[in-house]
Amino acid sequence: MTKAPDFQSTRFDCPHCGEETEHVWFNLYAEQINNPAGTPLRIEGEMLEMLKANPQFPPDVKEQKVAYWNRVNDGEVFLDRWAPVQSDMIVAGMEISACRSCIGSIVWLGGKQVYPPA
């Protein structure tokens, strides 16, 4: 019996791995983008190729960085560690749940699953 993702539950089938497992819920917070261009950072195209060829990074670090940007550029939503954020602005009406089994993320908007598409 399948248990569809449910905004009011902590245990349901993960749309990523298919396991019925516990999901951990997260609030989202906003911090103004601190990029000189004033827009979100994306490393793609020519810049991604330059990263792949950069000899300053050990191969394993380079592989992690390229994999990260490929996931971002493919439109995947996932949890990742970054610099600590100090913010007093919550993103109201949007939450993320993460599967305890595969760490796959579900984005909820207004209590409805928007990612991955149901």
39: left (phi over 0), alpha (psi -120 to 50) or beta: beta
Give me the residue label for tokens 């349901």.
12
Interval 17-74: pLDDT, tens: 999 999 999 999 999 988 899 999 999 999 999 999 999 999 999 999 999 999 999 9
Q: What is the pLDDT of residue 69?
A: 97
User: Cα angle at 63 between 19 and 56, to 5 degrees?
Assistant: 155
Number of domains in the chain: 2
Q: What is the pLDDT of residue 84?
A: 82
Q: Rounded to whole angstroms, how far apart are CA atoms 109 and 7?
A: 10
* Structural domain containing residue 52: 34-79
Q: Do 38 and 75 share a domain, yes or no? A: yes
Q: What is the pLDDT of residue 1?
A: 60
Q: Do 49 and 75 share a domain, yes or no? A: yes
Whole-structure pTM value: 0.85
